[in-house]
Amino acid sequence: MEMFESGLIIIALLLVLLAAGVPIAFALAMSGVVGLGLDRPWRAIEYLLSTFAYANTAHFAYVVLPLFLFMGHMAFSAGLSRRAFEAGQQYLGRFPGGLAAATVFACAAFSTVCGSSVATASTMAKVALPEMLRHGYKERLAAGCVAAGGTLGVLIPPSGILVIYSIVTQVSLLKLFLAAFVPGVVTAVVYMFGIWLMVKLDPELAGRPLTRRFTWREHAQAAGRSWEMLLLFAAVMGTIYLGVATPTEAAALGAGLSLLAVLRRPGRWSKLAEGLRETGSATCSIFALIIGAGLFSLGLSTTQLPTHLAELATGLDLSPVAMIVLILLPYLILGMFLDGVSLILITMPIVFPIVNHVGFDAVLFGLLVTKAVEIGCITPPVGLNAFVVKSAAPDVSLSEIFRGCIPFVVMEITIVGLMIAFPDFFLFLVHD
């Protein structure tokens, strides 16, 4: 059997296992072992399996993952998102669609201390959604902006998706974090402008705006009440951007500070225990995926399929930009059915060699894939953020939530187009 055909068999087996409902980590591992078995004797595979899990994960750089997860859980438990929303409400509440814009502002602020889309959407659904509905906002705008705003959690650093992308591709996490800041801010601004435009075209979407005028002193006090979030951002991202600390060191500092924030609250010990359980569970799940993806990548590499695909892609005589657009299209589809971590771990062994072969910027590609993950979080049938909002607001229909997400999907695709058209603008923090 030719090696190329063996690679196709491995991918077909993976798809069959996923369709059969086998957990993704085990489906990846089983497919990889079959791939290795097509080229190596079982005694060699047995030795590899006895050491692979430890050898593939025992890297100090991977410590950043549980630390950022723990920081996000502690920030969530400390209620930092509510203070961010209250500040945004004071700043933006009097503008058309101001509460929805304040929700996006709060999501962006909370994303600087929480790298999870689900956690961001969940906490803002509890904080901002009831407030918008109380002020007469239509359900589709209120729920849509919460679901879409939650996606900022996977883009604005510290982003869990970017950490996984860095682990799989060996692209510098520091560069990814630096580069992600610009598209994160642009996305938040585009969301807020889009909300303003929607409300201008259909004023009934936003109900009644706030009428009270706040003084500059009250604005300063609102910002002051968010001092813990500002401190966390300065301690984590500030030290990374200034080169004072590595991402791992900054994550440790952020985890410690977020722990102190929780210990200042009532019910501190139950929140700490819950945070430790959630962090441990999420870390185990992600590392199982990393091990499975490592075996899948190893089995696939023995077949030379990624190399053949890269050569085939070169033979198409497409420009690097056209090739990347062609690669991103399946991500938009797969993102409707798979979570971001699984999507990256499954696809990177196949597509990243093509990206390198055509000479496309690996940092920009990571950001584009993250944007595709964002879009998948708010598109049916398995838009995870939409279901998170639904669980927090059972009275709001799922169809209304997805309907409210449609304008934000259009905005996301527009931003992706801008990132491809003007890469220098979005990467100026990492390029000289």
Instruction: Determine the pLDDT at residue 193.
Output: 93
Under a CB-based contact definition with an 8 Å cutoff, are residues 272 and 255 in contact?
A: no
Six-digit token string for 179: 């580069």
- Residue-wise pLDDT tens for the chain (432 aa)? 466 677 778 888 888 888 888 888 888 888 888 888 877 778 877 888 888 888 878 777 788 888 888 887 787 777 776 677 767 666 666 677 888 888 888 888 888 877 777 778 877 888 788 888 887 888 888 889 988 988 888 888 888 888 889 988 889 888 998 899 899 999 999 999 999 999 888 888 877 666 666 666 665 666 666 677 778 888 888 888 888 888 888 888 888 888 888 888 787 788 888 888 888 888 888 888 888 888 887 877 777 766 666 667 666 777 888 888 888 888 877 777 777 777 888 888 888 888 888 888 999 999 999 998 888 888 877 677 888 888 877 888 888 888 989 999 999 999 999 999 999 999 988 875
DSSP secondary structure code for residue 60 in this structure: G
**Angle between helix 268-302 and 64-77 (nearest 10):** 150
Q: What is the dihedral of CA 238, 244, 246, 248, to 10 degrees?
A: -70
What is the rounded distance in angstroms from the CA atom of residue 304 to the CA atom of residue 290? 21
Six-digit token string for 165: 């992308």
Instruction: Determine the pLDDT at residue 1.
Output: 47
Under a CB-based contact definition with an 8 Å cutoff, are residues 291 and 33 in contact?
A: no
What is the rounded distance in angstroms from the CA atom of residue 57 to the CA atom of residue 284? 11
Q: Which residues, other chains included, contact 319 with Cβ-Cβ below 8 Å and sequence gap of 6+?
A: none
Q: Which amino acid is at 416?
A: V
How far is C-alpha 246 from the geometric centre of its chain's CA atoms? Answer: 21
What is the rounded distance in angstroms from the CA atom of residue 425 to the CA atom of residue 415? 12
What pTM was computed for the model? 0.82
